[in-house]
């Protein structure tokens, strides 16, 4: 296994964890059109987790591309 495989496995596990711990401010009914909040602002820890999720997704995508090219 190459280094890219280890980076891919680590990033997909971290990405899964980060997605699962993100909180939603609304209930299931909001997804069906019953939510009153249209615009929400991420603040504090929620914003940090959101940014880490984006970074982890980029690392995951880049590791797959580099693994294919090498």
Structural domain includes residue 34? no
Average predicted confidence (pLDDT) for the chain: 81
In a domain, 59, yes or no: yes
Residue 41 has pLDDT above 70, yes or no: yes
Number of domains composing the chain: 1
How confident is the model at residue 35, as a pLDDT?
A: 54
Assess whether pLDDT exceeds 70 at residue 60.
yes
Residue scoring higher pLDDT (28 or 10): 10
Let me know if residue 27 belongs to a domain. no
- The pLDDT score that the predictor gives to residue 42 is 72
Is the per-residue pLDDT at 47 higher than 70?
yes
Q: Does residue 31 form part of some domain? A: no
Q: What span, in angstroms and rounded, lies between the C-alpha atoms of 25 and 37?
A: 9
Q: Is residue 39 part of a domain?
A: no
Phi and psi dihedrals of 44, rounded to 5? Answer: 65, -130
Domain residue limits at 60: 1-19+44-70
Query: Is 11 within a domain?
Result: yes
């Amino acid at each position: 296994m190459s280094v890219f495989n280890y980076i891919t496995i680590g990033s997909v596990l971290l990405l899964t964890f980060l997605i699962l711990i993100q909180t939603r401010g609304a209930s299931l009914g909001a997804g069906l059109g019953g939510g009153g909040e249209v615009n929400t602002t991420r603040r504090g820890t929620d914003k940090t987790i959101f940014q880490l999720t984006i970074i982890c997704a980029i690392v995951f995508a880049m590791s797959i591309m580099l693994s294919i090219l090498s």
